[in-house]
Structure 1
Amino acid sequence: MKKMQIFEPAMCCSTGLCGVGVDSELLRISTALNTLKKNGINVERFNLSNAPQQFVNDKTVNHFINTKGVEGLPVTVLDGEIVIAGRYPTNEEFANLLGVPETLFGGKPKAVKVTPRRSGGCGCSGGKCC
């Protein structure tokens, strides 16, 4: 199973969903991560305020911060490699990166092209349709 981690800038709480002005993007991320968790996929989420040691211990993220600064956060790490920086993954990106159906997030299923059979009839027996 793929290992995904999200390293976020410092926020007042672990999700950033506290206070009077809730950021809609943080709400979407929390919802997406809860959906993934309910379906057996755990994505670790680290906030610089609450888990600074994770930023120090992860050599890839530590190098990123030393190069780009904390202004480059959030970063999404997949199997030890930064795959998205400066923003959160979209639901479609979550699906593609983790190999799960996009419909898991309530998205519309992709259209399927149906080709009618050339049977010469409607398929009902004896020419009588039910």
Structure 2
Amino acid sequence: MMHHIEIFDPDIQCYAGECEPMGNKEYMRITTMVENLKIAGKDIIRYNPMQEPSLYKEMPEIRQLMDEKGIEALPAVMLDGKIVKSGEYPSNKELLDWSGLSQEELVKTIMQKKMSNCKCGNDLDCCC
């Protein structure tokens, strides 16, 4: 069964062109995992309060969570419409479990997709 995963990011503060919401490494880890899961065809989406501020107020679960815990509640993760984690990003293992993939399956799927888009001589990610 494929689950619908939604991640509600905290407000990202940017200084001198660098954005560090929870430490650059953690932000890059979650960004990479979300993009890889999307490539693998999984139902995952991230929301940003700067781009979708009304969504944070319109979703009853998120609004209630933020009313109770404030900004510390973010990031928040919903799985099939229910909050399953707040205050920190999910681990890679949690994301893989929720998406029904093993690490090996995810890597294999990503490599297959990259290779299927390979045009020899035109793509630096390809080996011909």
Q: State the Cα RMSD in Å.
A: 2.0
More helix by share: 2
Any residues of structure 2 matched to 1:66-77 within 5 Å, and which? 66-77=67-78
| 2:31 alignment counterpart | 30
| 1:125 alignment counterpart | none
Q: Secondary structure at the match of 2:94?
A: helix
Bigger RCO (CA 8 Å, 6+ sep)? 2
Instruction: Work out whether residues 76 and 88 of structure 1, in 8 Å CA contact, stay in contact via their aligned partners in 2.
Output: yes
Moved over 6 A (4+): none
Structure 2 Cα separation of the partners of residues 47 and 20 of structure 1 = 13
Structure 2 Cα separation of the partners of residues 20 and 43 of structure 1 = 22
Structure 1 Cα separation of the partners of residues 50 and 85 of structure 2 = 21
Which of the pair has more CA radius of gyration? Answer: 1
| 1:47 alignment counterpart | 48
Query: Structure 2 length normalisation: TM-score?
Result: 0.71
Q: Structure 2: which amino acid aligns with 1:29?
A: I
Any residues of structure 2 matched to 1:1-130 within 5 Å, and which? 1-12=2-13, 19=18, 23-104=24-105
Instruction: Work out whether residues 40 and 106 of structure 2, in 8 Å CA contact, stay in contact via their aligned partners in 1.
Output: no
Instruction: Work out whether residues 12 and 49 of structure 1, in 8 Å CA contact, stay in contact via their aligned partners in 2.
Output: no
Query: Structure 1 length normalisation: TM-score?
Result: 0.70
Distance 1:105 1:87, change over 3 A: farther
Distance 1:95 1:49, change over 3 A: same
Structure 1 residue 11: deviation in Å? 1.3
Structure 1 residue 104: deviation in Å? 4.2
Q: Structure 1: which amino acid aligns with 2:44?
A: V
Structure 2: gaps of 5 or more residues = 108-128
How many correspondences in the alignment?
A: 102
